[in-house]
Amino acid sequence: MNNQKKFCDKLLAAIESNQSLLYLTLDPQPETFPDTLSITTDFLAKAKLAIDQTADLISACKITLGFYQSLGIPGWELLQQILAIIPPHIPVILDAKHCDLNTSTLFAKTVFEDWQVDAVTLSPYAGFDQVAPFLLYPNKTVFVLCATANPTAAALQEYPTPENPLYLQLVRVSQTWGTPEKLGLQVGVMPDMLARIRQAAPERLILVEGDIPEQNDLTEQNDLAELLAAGLSKNGEGLLLPIPPSLFASQEPRLEIQKLRDNINEQRLRAIAGSPTCELWLPDVCFLQPEPHRDLILQLYDIGCVVFGDHVQASGAVFPYYIDLRKIISIPQIFHQIVSAYAEILKGLKFDRIAGIPYGSLPTATGLALRMERPMIFPRKEVKTYGAGKLIEGHFQAGETIVVVDDILISGKSVMEGAAKLKSAGLNVEDIVVLIDHEQGVKDKLQVNGYRAHSVLALSEIAQILYQANRIDTEQFQLLTAEH
């Protein structure tokens, strides 16, 4: 189980890749098919088509267990077939609303181990004991049902008074059961109630169920804007919205779904326009050829990480530009992508611990340690003259292999000094991983000194992408690519 990718990581990767908060519902509606055989054959073909049409427009798939249960054995077989055709990079949410305390442990094992779904919805009225067996799975997430849009549910949800309703008490208590990445909330399409829930749970992921406005007219556009304003977190995230089933009945389903996604993204930008603490980045150019790190490079430029003008580097050299990577820790969307990019390289390396070079790469090293569940240490920039006077902070054993993480390679001086401190403590250092390589033969220099260097980006790659996107002019491109 520990080798499986976390739901939150899969979801965020899909959101970033597809720039979408939409999820696809894959539920057979028995009343729309003449018989059970038709459901299990025709619906499977229909589901495949829907996935093909939306794979690059959605962030997740949701399956309502009750529909499959109602079909008996053919339904269980159909469920397995549906799970098999969903692309592995798209997270799967099983909408089970499970509520039986006695079978929670067995059901959690079935859905998370046997069916390999990424998240499940639960009815929480049996309390924490009902939810706990599901929280034991480190890479999985649960969504607690806290409010539905069914009109007659108000008698219970708003008890004892609308000012202090039961559903808000449920929201408050459930947040003590698990972290934001482990426990989210499930809510019906109700802007007023959604706004109160978002206020009470600002960091939680909210799964919206029901029919959202389709934006066919001004009224529906306003309703959608109201729903988004009520449910989005302050950084324009934290919300999963269903694709309206009626869009698949249109003449061009993919086009309509794409329009809905783009409209939601526009509303996301408006929703955070006044927030000084966190910004959402969306692409504004279209390219014919794919580049794996293009969006990341454009984002780094757009938040001001590439600055032109004479700047003194840490090595003492003066460059006509400066790359400032310290801003990334204030933009969660970008920081997550950067940590993911480092992690892809580290997955292919053998090491016991991660070491960050102070001070610029310490946040990244910390993020990697948490992401990869590997211990972290770091060599001090200066040895303390008080306390224990340690040269290396953190627990380690002599003879262990350390992978060194730094932000940028210019001369290689600082990273080799850090590696030398680690080696002086009896540790082995073979690999050094950075975000940006200035090139100019620095990797060769490191290799001569016994280190293998790896980088996410090269400066020439950054310059080329920025030039293609008209972010920089010819003169600036030449400045970035000139030898220094």
Q: Using one digit for the tens of pLDDT, what is the confidence trace for 23-70?
A: 999 998 766 555 666 677 788 999 999 999 999 999 999 999 999 998
Region 244-251 average pLDDT: 88
Q: What digits encode the pLDDT tens for the residues 406-441?
A: 999 988 888 999 999 999 999 999 999 999 998 889
Secondary element (H or E) of residue 433: strand 428-437
48 is in an annotated binding site: no
Which one is predicted more confidently, 432 or 270? 432
pTM tops 0.75, yes or no: no
The verdict on whether residue 384 carries a ligand-binding annotation is: yes
Alpha carbon distance 271, 225 (integer Å): 9
Question: Is 410 a known ligand-binding residue?
Answer: yes
309 labeled part of a ligand binding site: no
pLDDT of residue 276: 46
- In this predicted model, what pLDDT tens digit does every residue of 365-394 receive, in sequence order? 999 999 888 999 999 877 655 545 578 999
**What's the DSSP call for residue 127?**
-
145 φ/ψ angles, rounded to the nearest 5 degrees: -70, 115
453 pLDDT higher than 80: yes
Q: Is 238 annotated as a binding residue?
A: no
How much is the pLDDT for 224? 85
Sign of CA dihedral 59, 64, 67, 73: positive
Residue 283: partners with Cβ closer than 8 Å, 6 or more residues away: 19, 295, 298
Cis peptide, bond prior to residue 359, ω within 30 of zero: yes
pLDDT in tens, 89-148: 999 999 999 999 999 999 999 999 999 999 999 999 899 999 999 999 989 999 999 999
The active-site residue out of 10, 46, 62, 97 is: 97
**Nearest C-alpha neighbor of 201 from the set 182, 221, 184:** 184
Annotated binding residue 380: yes
- How confident is the model over 184-213, as a mean pLDDT? 91
185 beta partners: 144, 206
* Lowest-confidence pick of 43-52, 234-243, 262-271: 262-271
- Binding residue per annotation — 414? yes
Helices (H), 55-101: 65-69, 73-85
407 is in an annotated binding site: yes
The reply to whether 412 sits in an annotated binding site is yes
CB atoms within 10 A of CB 114: 9
Residue ranges in 321-397 assigned as alpha helix (H): 332-346, 362-372
Q: What is the rounded end-to-end Cα distance, in angstroms, of the chain?
A: 48
pLDDT of residue 282: 52
Cα 235 to Cα 331: distance, rounded to the nearest angstrom:
9
In this prediction, residue 481 carries a pLDDT of 87
| Tokens 């909330």, located at residue | 185
The string of DSSP codes covering 194-227 is HHHHHHH-TT--EEEES-----SSHHHHHHHHHH
The pLDDT of residue 233: 86
- Is 6 catalytic? The answer is no
3-state secondary structure of 412: coil
What percent of the chain stands above pLDDT 90? Answer: 53
Q: Is 63 helix (H, G, I), strand (E, B) or coil?
A: strand
The answer to whether residues 408 and 325 touch, using CB atoms and an 8 Å cutoff, is yes
Residue 228 has pLDDT above 50, yes or no: yes
223 belongs to an annotated ligand binding site: no
**Is 17 annotated as belonging to a binding site?**
no
Flag whether pLDDT at 341 surpasses 80: yes
pLDDT-derived band of residue 288, with 50, 70 and 90 as boundaries? very low
